[in-house]
Amino acid sequence: MSVRLQTFMSKKFIFLFLIIYLSFSSIVVNSQERVRLGTPITESQLAEFDLIAEPDGTGLPDGSGTAKQGKSVYDINCAVCHGPDGEGTSGNTVIVGGDMQSEGPPLRTVGSYWPYASTVFDFIRRAMPATAPKSLTNEQVYQVTAYVLFMNGIISEDAELNARTLLSIEMPNAKGFIDRSNIHSN
Ligand code: HEC
């Protein structure tokens, strides 16, 4: 390679390098400008977002309701997907019935699967109605939870559901789970 060609090439390289460097550095600057990291979430916003109600009662809000009151909440907000009597409109929307003794794969309904009534409350408050989660008041969630439990034959129509009575409910499948939290595989 001649000396002239070498100089030409190295100039070309420097030029290319500069172009690449400049385009990359401008991308970095631009992306930094575009990143919007937002503002830190406050404790109360976080609590509203989390809404966790645990089987020991932690996180259950004030309020109460009966199945009688919950029927209209259910008819308006839930029946379209879960059917007028909880029979479901598709495989995973059945919330009433199920057979815990079946040898085949279990039908997971509130009555035949869920171990804690507080978790039913928690799930409905957090995730239902599926098209508008968290749109119900705590009072309405107590009422409609009572109605779902009533449809499953777990409580009576007039039983008042609140943070205290919810914990006293023994769900049919409460003992159907095996605690594997202490089993370690090697
Ligand atoms: C737009 C349809 C829709 C509406 C409205 C709706 N749900 Fe659901 N719901 C679903 C679907 C879909 C699932 C299954 C979710 C899954 O498997 O992850 C579900 C799951 C559930 C479950 C758990 C079922 C189980 O045994 O696993 C409960 C309980 C429940 N919904 C209650 C309600 C209540 C109460 C309302 C009214 C306040 C409501 N849903 C409104 C679609 C809906």
Nearest atom in ligand 1 to 108's CA: 26
Distances (CA, A) of 155 to 17, 84, 86, 113, 178: 75, 18, 15, 16, 25
Question: How close is the Cα of 71 to the center of ligand 1, in Å?
Answer: 15
Is residue 131 within 6 Å of ligand 1 at its C-beta?
A: yes
Domain boundaries, the chain: 60-168
Q: Measured from the CB, is residue 80 less than 6 Å from ligand 1?
A: yes
Q: Could you report the per-residue pLDDT of 48-89, keeping only the tens digit for each?
A: 777 889 999 999 999 999 999 999 999 999 999 999 999 999
Residue 21 has pLDDT above 80, yes or no: no
Q: How far is the CA of 82 from the centre of ligand 1 (A)?
A: 7
pLDDT for the residue numbered 22:
61
Ligand 1 atom nearest to 141, measured from its CA: 38
pLDDT computed for residue 25 by the predictor = 58
117 lines ligand 1 (CB under 6 A): no
**pLDDT classification of 29: cutoffs 50, 70, 90:** low
Q: Does 141 sit in the ligand 1 pocket, CB within 6 Å?
A: no
- Whether the per-residue pLDDT at 119 is higher than 90: the answer is yes
| Least confident segment among 38-42, 123-127, 148-152 | 38-42
Q: How confident is the model at residue 12 (pLDDT cuts 50, 70, 90)?
A: confident
pLDDT score for 62: 96
Task: Give the pLDDT score at 33.
Answer: 66
60-168 CATH: 1.10.760.10
| Span from the CA of 124 to the centroid of ligand 1 (angstroms) | 7
- Global pTM? 0.80
